[in-house]
Structure 1
Amino acid sequence: MTKKIRTYSAEFKAEAVKKIADNDGNISATAKQLGIAMQTLSNWHNKANQGKLEGTAQYDPELIAVIEENKRLKRQLKVAEEEREILKKATAYFARHS
């Protein structure tokens, strides 16, 4: 049995998060009304509070750009550290065999 992965538009997510306030902050009741999983709605709510959910008042595109740049730089750092370790080992090898 395969599960269908449902995708939701940014507008739907933003409206769902707004409905939480209409239900006095009750995520469970809001999720039942919308027919989505409570954990999914909770994740959207957390992202909205962090400014990462597009379409909400807290959304900050500059924050998203900084987060993406941070991820890219972390990947580059990891590659550079791995290259440095390889060069250290190669230097030690050639120093022993020269």
Structure 2
Amino acid sequence: MPKKIDPELRARAVRLVLEHQQEYPSTTEAMIAVSKQLGVSRESVRRWVAQADIDAGRREGMSTQEHEEIKRLKTENRRLREDVAVLKAATTFFVGELDPRNR
């Protein structure tokens, strides 16, 4: 399971890359420098910057808000399916109790 990174560290890394990318020949080199400075992997910084670009509308993809909404809906869907399964089991039980052949 991935470890939780402080949102402030993530925001700082993205801000540093965006502010200092002009000082480097490429954005990748800026990301590498920032990742070394902050002590996180460069892949993490790359993904954070990519997600920030998506959230800002500079890149195509699923925004953080959309991702969290889908996650919330999946959780709700799973809970509702469990509720339906319990109700079906209860219905089956009570139908069996009311059946005169079982008396």
1:1-98 superposed matches below 5 A: 7-8=8-9, 10=11, 12-18=12-18, 22=24, 25=28, 30=33, 31-32=35-36, 34-38=37-41, 41-49=42-50, 52-53=51-52, 58-60=53-55, 63-98=63-98
Q: Secondary structure at the match of 1:37?
A: coil
User: 5+ unaligned residues in a row in structure 1: which ranges?
Assistant: none
Specify the structure having the higher radius of gyration (Cα): 2
Q: String of CA shifts for 1:54-91, please: whole Å, max 9, x gaps.
A: xxxx1426822211211111111011101000001101
Structure 1 runs, 4 residues or longer, greater than 2 Å off = 15-32
Q: 1:85 to 1:78 in 2, by over 3 A?
A: same
Aligned residues: CA RMSD: 3.1
Residue identity (%) = 20
> So what's the TM-score if we normalise by structure 2?
0.59
Gaps of 5+ in 2: 58-62, 99-103
Rounded to whole Å, the distance in 2 between the matches of 1:89 and 1:59 is: 45
Higher helix share: 2
Q: How many residues align?
A: 84
Larger RCO: 1 or 2 (CA < 8 Å, sep 6+): 1
